[in-house]
Amino acid sequence: MEALHSENPRIGELIAFLGRMKTGPAEREEYDRYAEVLHSATALEVNAALDSVLAVAGDIAEWKIPVARFIRAVSQGVEKHSLPVYPEKHLLGELESENDQIEQAISELQQRAKAVQKGEDGLSAIIGGLSRLDILSAHYIRLQNELFPLFERASPQHACVKLMWALEDDVLSHLKKLTHWQKKEIDSEFWSALGSFFLLAGSLLWRERHILFPAANHAIPEAFLQTDRRTADQQPGGPQAGQGLFSTTTGTLSSEQLDLIFRLLPVDISFIAADDRVAFYSDPPHRIFPRRPAVIGRKVQNCHPPKSVAMVEEILSSFKDGSRDSAEFWLTVAGKFVHIEYRAVRDERGTYLGTLEISQDATHLRSLEGQKRLL
């Protein structure tokens, strides 16, 4: 990183300005001192500056406001540069198309909000507009499970995705609060929450379009961005699938049989190898937490939002040092009672080989009573 900065002193200036944002907004004289680089910064330079700071950040949440100030300062400069044009069946093109839909839905919601403020409509109009924004969740899932893993493998400067994931959680939290508004009337608290939602969702959309996507497009080989060609075997660093047999002392299965069995099991399974990288996941149609082939080989810490990483680290550490062999959790997700269990996988000598994650929608099982002995 230091070599990069010495080769491009502009990035060093951007890093210095970003660090200054941690203490509060810049005075006019300070801003003018950095004006030249701020007004001409490229997406790659901004991404490099963000990575330099966020890669070593202890608490990523502490950088939400400083980075927002930084982005506002460089936005005019970044927008001077042309955006990439993505071909058909291209991951970034598909994500950009989703952003167009999100942008339109946000614009329509803003128009409804203005009508409500003028007394021309009521709360139901805004709630109806919010329901169209359920596309946000699906969009963020694609980012987290498809683009982020590819970007992490292709570029050493990928720390910005940690902050983006945290902000995506914030956007969805605002959306949930507004969609399930408990009060019948619209008060200042509602307008404040709606304003925060507009600001944050719009800011993330801009960051994707002007910084993340151009940086990812520059770093990720074209073949891995073609959505009609990407398979589990085509992921950077992914293992080649064999066509042999799975054989143990209890029986033998073909690869096809084993894959179909995993798809039919009423549980979702993921295996994290001893180096903390995802080695396998089952993909049944009822999977609770979405996964994509790009996750193979990815550090499991990067597969979770920043707020959950400390817990993940604690579980893995306890499995590795032998102080724990399992960890169990249960929670409600979209009205489902979800049971999650982590188990340390060890060989006969007790050597840690990895972690097995087992997730299940236990809503039906939890409701069972009495006995059922007949079909």
Concatenated DSSP letters of 343-358 = EEEE-TT--EEEEEEE
Q: What is the predicted pLDDT for the residue at 183? A: 74
Q: Whole-model pTM?
A: 0.81
Q: What is the predicted pLDDT for the residue at 239? A: 45
Contacts of residues 115-122 at CB distance under 8 Å and 24 or more positions apart, as own/partner, are 116/186
- List the alpha helices (DSSP H) in 284-350: 306-320
DSSP secondary structure code for residue 24 in this structure: S
pLDDT in tens, 211-243: 999 999 999 999 889 876 554 445 554 444 455
Q: Could you give the dihedral angle defined by the CA atoms of residues 111, 112, 113 and 117, in that order, rounded to the nearest 10 degrees?
A: 100
Identify which of 231, 237, 218, 238 has the alpha carbon closest to the alpha carbon of residue 92. 218
What whole-number distance in Å separates Cα of residue 362 and Cα of residue 368? 10
Location of structure tokens 């997700």: 333
**In this structure, how many other beta carbons lie within 10 angstroms of the beta carbon of residue 223?**
10
Can you give the pLDDT of all 375 residues of the chain as single tens digits?
444 454 689 999 999 999 999 999 888 888 899 999 999 999 999 999 999 999 999 889 999 999 999 999 999 999 999 999 998 899 999 999 999 999 999 999 999 999 988 888 888 888 888 988 989 999 999 999 999 999 999 999 999 999 999 999 999 999 999 988 867 778 888 899 999 999 999 999 999 999 999 999 999 999 889 876 554 445 554 444 455 788 888 989 998 999 999 999 999 999 999 999 999 999 999 999 888 888 999 999 999 888 899 999 999 999 999 999 999 999 998 889 999 999 999 999 999 999 999 999 999 999 999 998 888
pLDDT in tens, 8-39: 899 999 999 999 999 998 888 888 999 999 99
